Chains A and B, each alone.
Chain A
Amino acid sequence: MYKLLLISKYLRRKLAPLFAALAVTICTAMVIIVASVMGGFLDLMQTTAKQLTPDVVIKSSLTGFGDYEKLIDQLEALPEVALATPAIEYPATVTIGGFTDPVQVIGMSPSRYNQIVPYSETLMWSADDLFDEEPIEMTEATRRGLRKGYDLKEAGRTLTTPSGYERYGMAAGGPAAVVGIAANRYQSRLSDGSYAFHRSIANVPLTVPNKLNPIKLALPVFAPNGEPIDAVQLRIPAVNEFKTGYYEIDKAVIFVPFDWLQKSLKMQRFEEYTDFDELTGEGGEAVIQPARCTDVYVKAAEGVDALTLKAAVQPVVDAHQTDRYIGVMTWEDVHGTLLGAVKNEKGMVTFLFVIISIVAIIMVATTFYMIVLEKTRDIGVLRAIGAPATGVLTLFMTYGLAIGLIGAGLGVWLAWFTVTNLNNLQEALATKLATLIATVVLAGLVALLSAIAMAYINRRRDFTIGAGVLVFLGTFGGLMAITFYAFPVIQLPGFAGETGLDSKIGWRMWDPQLYFFEKIPDQVNWGEVFLIWVGAVVSCVLGAIIPAVIASRLNPVEALRYE
C-alpha cells in the first residue's frame, strides 16, 4: 500500500515524471498517427483501386485470344465464379480539344461490367448538374426536356449517346465513351479537391458549339498473328466522366462499348482464306478467325476471396492456353506496384518512428535515474523502517508502469483526437490561421487559470501540480479549441475574411488538388492502437527497470548518509 501512496504523491508533486509521461504521450501519439494515416492511405488506395478492378483479371497480349466465349462458359461453371465478361484493354491516344494524351481504352459490356464492379457508382454527372450550371433562365418545360434528353447518368451507365446529342452530329443510341475525370485536361480540381461540371466534356448542351466533343481516339490494329496491320482513328461522343479517386485510373482510362471497340480493332469473328495463289487468287482454304478479346473479368462468388478464385480459375485458363501466354491476376496483382510501394512506405515510416520512440524509453530511464538519485535518502528511510528490497524494486517499477499507463493512455487519446480532426486542423492552418491562434491562446489561458485554481483549491501552493496540469491542459485545451473551431462553436469576431498559411506561403499539409484523395485518412485502427499502447507501457516499465534495480540494491546505511 505504501507504494501506491508514494507513487500517487510522486506523480502529483514531481515535475520530471510529468515530462516523462508527456514524452511517452507524444511518442505514442506520433506512432499511432503515422500508422493510422499511412494505413488509412493504404486502405483508401486499396478500396479505390478495387472499385473498377475485378476480383480476378485474365489477361493476354494486345492481339488478344480467341474462343473467349467458351472460356467464359467454363469459368461460369465453376462454383467459385459468380460472373465473367470479356473486355479489351488497349493503349491509345485521346484527343480532347487541343490536347492529345496517352490513355488506356477499355472496351466492356456495361450491363455485365456493372455486375462485376460498381462502375455506375463512379459516374460523376447526372442531369441535375445541368441545372446547376444553367447559363440562362429555364422554364419548367425546358428543364423536363433537358432532363429527359440528357440523362447523363443513364448514358454513362449504358455507354450510349442520349437522344439530345444528334443535333451536334452524334446519333442517339450510338456508342459513347465515359472519360476518366483527370484525363480531360480542361477539367481541374478546385481548391477543395472537387471537380466542376462546367469543365466537363459531358456538358454539351451548355457549351455549344463544343470543341471537345466528340473525342478522338487513335489505336494500332494487330492481326491475330501479332503483326501490326493498321492504325485507326475513331470519333466517339463522351457522355459522362468517372472518378474513383485513384488518380492512376482517373487519369488514364476511357470506357467504350466492347462490341464497338472489338469491331473497330478488327477483333470480331471473320473468315479468311489461306494458302491461295497470290497471282490468280485461286485455291486456298477458308479459315474462320474467332472473335478476340484481350481480357476476361471474373467476379468471385459470395464468400470467395481473390486468391481462392485465382487458384480455381488458373487450371481452366491453362487448358485454354494458345501459343500466346494468358495470365491470371488478382486485383492486388494488377495494382501491385503502387500498393506494394505504399505498404513499404508505411512499414518504413512506422519503423522510423518506433526508433524515434526509443527516446521515450531513454527519457523514462533518465528520469527514473534522477528520481532514484534524488530519493536515495528516502530509500534508506524506507529500508530502515522495514521495506524490503523487492518492495523498493516494485515501487519504482510500478511508478514506471503508472507513467506508462498515463502517458500512453493520453497518447492514444491525443492520436485519436488528432487523426479524426486532421482535416479540420489542416483546413484551419491553411485558411483560418488568426482564429486558430486566437482560440489556442484562449484555451491556453483557460488552462493556466485552471492550473492556478487547482493549485489554490488544493492549498498545496506547489507549482509542480499546476505546471503538470498546465502542460496537459494546455496541449489538450489547444486541440479542443481546434475541434470547437472545426465544428464552429466558437465564432471569434473580427476575423472575417482572414487568411492562413495557404495564401501566405502556399503551404497546405494535404493539398487536395495534388493528391489522389481529397481528404487525409482519418480513421484509427484500434487493433494497431492496442498493440502500440501495450508497446509504450512495456517500454516505460523497461525504462524503469535499471534505475529500480539500482534503487533496490542500495545499501540502506549508505543511502541514509547520501548527500
Chain B
Amino acid sequence: MATETFSVATRPRSPVPAVRRARRRLGPGRPLPYGRLLGPALLLALWAAASASGLLDPRKLSAPWAVARTTADMISTGVLQEHVLTSLTRATAGFLIGITAGLALAVIAGISRIGEALIDGPMKIKLAIPTIGLIPLLILWLGIGELFKIVIIAVAVAVYMYIQVYAGLVGIDKRYVELAEVQGYRRSEFLRHVVLPGVLPQFFVGLRLSLTASWLVLITVEQINALSGVGYMMEQAQQYAQTDVILVGLAVYGIFGFLSDALVRVTERRVLSWRRTLAS
C-alpha cells in the first residue's frame, strides 16, 4: 500500500486510534415500539391531570371519567345507539350511491371519447366547488329531509371516486395496451387482465378519500339541519354546554372513521397482493 512505501521516509505521526468511532447517524433511527400510542397516551394523561387538579373548567372540557360515565349512561338508555344507527344509515346510503355513480361516470369517460367530452369537464368544475357550498341549493330542491342528506353525501363521494378512477383509466400504461394488441388479447381479456388491475390501486385511493368525504359531509349536514344522528346530538349538547356529550360524539366519529379506513386497507392489501413483492 502507498502508506507503507512512504512510511520509511516520513516520521511516524501520532498513532491512529485502534477503535474508530461509529459514524454518526443522521436519519431518525429505529422506530420505538408502540411509538404511535405515546402521543395520545401523553395527551390523555395531561387531560386527566388537568381535570383532577381543577385546572380545567368542566364547562370547557369534561373530565375523561365524566365522558366515560356519560357514554355508559347513553348506551344504557339506548340514545347513543339510536343516533349512531341513524348516522350510519345516512353515511352508508350516500356512500354506496356515490361510489356507484362515480365509478359509472369514470368508466364512461374513461373508455369513450364522447363520454369524456361530456362528463370530464363538469366533474372537474364540481371538484373546484366544495360540496358543502351546494347545501343551500340542495335544500331548496330537496327540502331538509333524509333525501337531501343522502344526496349531498353521494355527490361528494362520487366526485372523489370519479377523479381517481378516471385518472387510473387514462393512466393505464400504454406499453401494456401494445402488449395486449400484439398478443391478441380479446377485449374481455384486455379489460379483465390489463385495465381492471391497472385501475384497482387508484380505485382504493378513491375509496379512502370517499370515506373521509362521506364522514365530513355527514357531520356538517347533521349539525346544520337534522333531528337525529350523532351530529344533531353534538349540536344539541352545544346548546346546553354538555362538553361530555360532544366528546362522546367525537369519539364515535373517530372510531367509525378509523374502522372504515382499516377495513379498506385490509381489503386493499388482499386484493393487491401482487404488490407485496415490491414492498418486501
Are A and B co-members of a single complex?
no
B contacts, CB < 8 Å to A: none
